[in-house]
């Protein structure tokens, strides 16, 4: 459903062009300091503004409406909401009849018997990740000595960062979009978190990473390239009594359990589906194929906004794993 976690439980709500989007967080340790400034830096990193991102301008002012009294968490569920102020619902009306290729329009209409909110893609919008980032900011406070750092590693298939601005500009000019790979490193994670099988650290992280709209894949450590390696290449030689290894091909997890090395994973983000370049799709009212060019405000490369979202969900997953292990 719309909730993640066993003890540190995060539920997101709202729609892109409804009154608000937000998050309810259960399991916050009482006494943790929570005020608007806790969210500020991470919200700023998620906000559009740089080239390749949408021109939609939301203020993202966090309203803490429950679970905090006198600036500290009380132990009751913390609710943070963000009012939507910059909406243009008319841009989306026709997608129920003429669904965007690659987007949620068709699948959601079938699932919700056409009652789904189409405005700004409703609950399927990247807008909803504002709640994940708010929950992540609190999770980061709860996981103490762990530091999490995510960044764009590759954009549109290009490793060299200096080539990104022109690639973005070219895609934008051509009415198209670009994907990217975001790499995330979590250091300071103690060995022993996670379970074999269903609640492995990889399973818990992957579960929540795939809740980010537009994610197409995740790999840990050597990931897919491990399948082409020999054991002698992929194995992580131990080099100390604390379990540290001289390389980290398993991404800090063995048998589903953290091994004390950096948890390292990469997330593949697709190019945005909403592109102005003409695409073929089906008109469900006229019952015929048609051409669709999508207007409105969209991210040419929404993955540029994703590193902080990836950090946030990693923090949520680790906070929950740590509380389960206590």
Ligand X SMILES: Cc1cc2nc3c(=O)[nH]c(=O)nc-3n(C[C@H](O)[C@H](O)[C@H](O)COP(=O)(O)O)c2cc1C
- Name the token pair of 283: 């008109």
**By rule CB under 6 A, what count of residues binds ligand X?**
21
The pattern of x and - marking residues 247 through 276 that bind ligand X according to CB under 6 A reads -----------------------x-xxx--
How is residue 262 annotated by DSSP?
Answer: P
- Name the token pair of 166: 């022109």
- The least distance separating ligand X from the CB of residue 138, rounded to whole angstroms, comes to 19
With beta carbons less than 8 A apart as the criterion, state whether 316 and 10 touch: yes
Q: Which stretch binds ligand X (CB under 6 A): 118-126, 180-188, 200-208, 280-288?
A: 118-126
Sheet of strand 9-14, all strands in order from the earlier edge strand to the far edge: 3-4, 9-14, 20-26, 78-83, 63-66
- Polymer length of the chain: 326
Residue number of the CB closest to ligand X reads 126
The pattern of x and - marking residues 126 through 165 that bind ligand X according to CB under 6 A reads x--x------------------------------------
Q: Which stretch binds ligand X (CB under 6 A): 125-133, 158-166, 187-195, 236-244?
A: 125-133
Q: Is 270 exposed, middle or buried (0-12, 13-18, 19+ CB in 10 A)?
A: middle
From CA 134, how far away is CA 89, in angstroms rounded? Answer: 25
How is residue 238 annotated by DSSP?
Answer: B
- The least distance separating ligand X from the CB of residue 101, rounded to whole angstroms, comes to 10
Which residue in the set 79, 84, 104, 109 belongs to the binding site for ligand X (CB under 6 A)? 104
16 binds ligand X (CB under 6 A): no
Contacts for 144 with CB less than 8 Å, ≥ 6 apart: none
Q: Is 93 exposed, middle or buried (0-12, 13-18, 19+ CB in 10 A)?
A: exposed
Of the pair 189, 313, the CB lying nearest ligand X is at 313
- The least distance separating ligand X from the CB of residue 259, rounded to whole angstroms, comes to 30
Of the pair 131, 249, the CB lying nearest ligand X is at 131
302 binds ligand X (CB under 6 A): yes
Which residue in the set 124, 164, 220, 265 belongs to the binding site for ligand X (CB under 6 A)? 124
With beta carbons less than 8 A apart as the criterion, state whether 184 and 266 touch: yes
The pattern of x and - marking residues 185 through 224 that bind ligand X according to CB under 6 A reads ---------------------------xxx----------
Please, what is the Cα angle at 45 between 84 and 270, to 5 degrees? 85
Which residue in the set 18, 262, 298, 322 belongs to the binding site for ligand X (CB under 6 A)? 298
Tell me how far the alpha carbon of residue 217 is from its chain's centroid: 12
Neighbours of 152 (CB within 10 A): 18
- Name the token pair of 145: 């000595």
The pattern of x and - marking residues 56 through 95 that bind ligand X according to CB under 6 A reads ----------------------------------------
52 binds ligand X (CB under 6 A): no
Which residue in the set 9, 17, 47, 103 belongs to the binding site for ligand X (CB under 6 A)? 103
Q: Is 231 exposed, middle or buried (0-12, 13-18, 19+ CB in 10 A)?
A: exposed
Of the pair 34, 306, the CB lying nearest ligand X is at 306
Dihedral, CA of residue 31, residue 36, residue 39 and residue 45, to nearest 10: -170
Of the pair 104, 248, the CB lying nearest ligand X is at 104
Residues that bind ligand X (CB under 6 A): 54, 103-104, 121, 124-126, 129, 212-214, 270, 272-274, 298-299, 302, 305-306, 309
């Amino acid at each position: 459903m719309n909730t993640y976690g066993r003890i540190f439980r995060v539920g997101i709500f709202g729609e892109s062009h409804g009154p608000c989007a937000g998050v309810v967080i259960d399991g916050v340790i009482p006494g943790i300091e929570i005020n608007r400034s806790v969210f500020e830096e991470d919200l700023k990193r998620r906000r559009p503004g740089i080239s390749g991102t949408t021109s939609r301008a939301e203020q993202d002012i966090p309203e803490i409406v429950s679970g905090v009294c006198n600036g500290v968490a009380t132990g009751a569920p913390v609710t943070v909401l963000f009012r939507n102020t910059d909406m243009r619902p008319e841009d989306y009306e026709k997608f129920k009849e003429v669904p965007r290729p690659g987007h949620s329009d068709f699948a959601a209409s079938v699932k919700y018997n056409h009652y789904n909110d189409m405005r700004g893609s409703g609950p399927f919008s990247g807008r909803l990740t504002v709640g994940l980032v708010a929950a992540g900011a609190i999770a980061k406070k709860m996981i103490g000595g762990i530091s999490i750092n995510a960044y764009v590693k590759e954009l549109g298939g290009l490793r060299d960062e200096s080539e990104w601005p022109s690639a973005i500009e070219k895609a934008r000019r051509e009415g198209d979009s670009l994907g990217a790979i975001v790499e995330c490193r979590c250091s300071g994670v103690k060995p022993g978190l996670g379970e074999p099988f269903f609640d492995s650290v990889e399973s818990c992280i992957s579960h929540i990473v795939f809740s980010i709209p537009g994610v197409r894949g995740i790999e840990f450590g050597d990931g897919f390239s491990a399948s082409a390696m020999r054991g002698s290449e992929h194995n992580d030689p131990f080099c100390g009594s604390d379990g540290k290894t001289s390389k980290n091909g398993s991404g800090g997890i063995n048998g589903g359990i953290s091994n004390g090395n950096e948890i390292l994973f990469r997330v593949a983000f697709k190019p945005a589906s909403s592109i102005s370049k003409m695409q073929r799709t089906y008109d469900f009212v006229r019952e015929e194929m048609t051409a669709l060019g999508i207007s409105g405000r969209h991210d040419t490369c929404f993955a540029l906004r994703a590193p902080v979202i990836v950090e946030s969900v990693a923090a949520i997953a680790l906070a929950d794993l740590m509380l389960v292990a206590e």
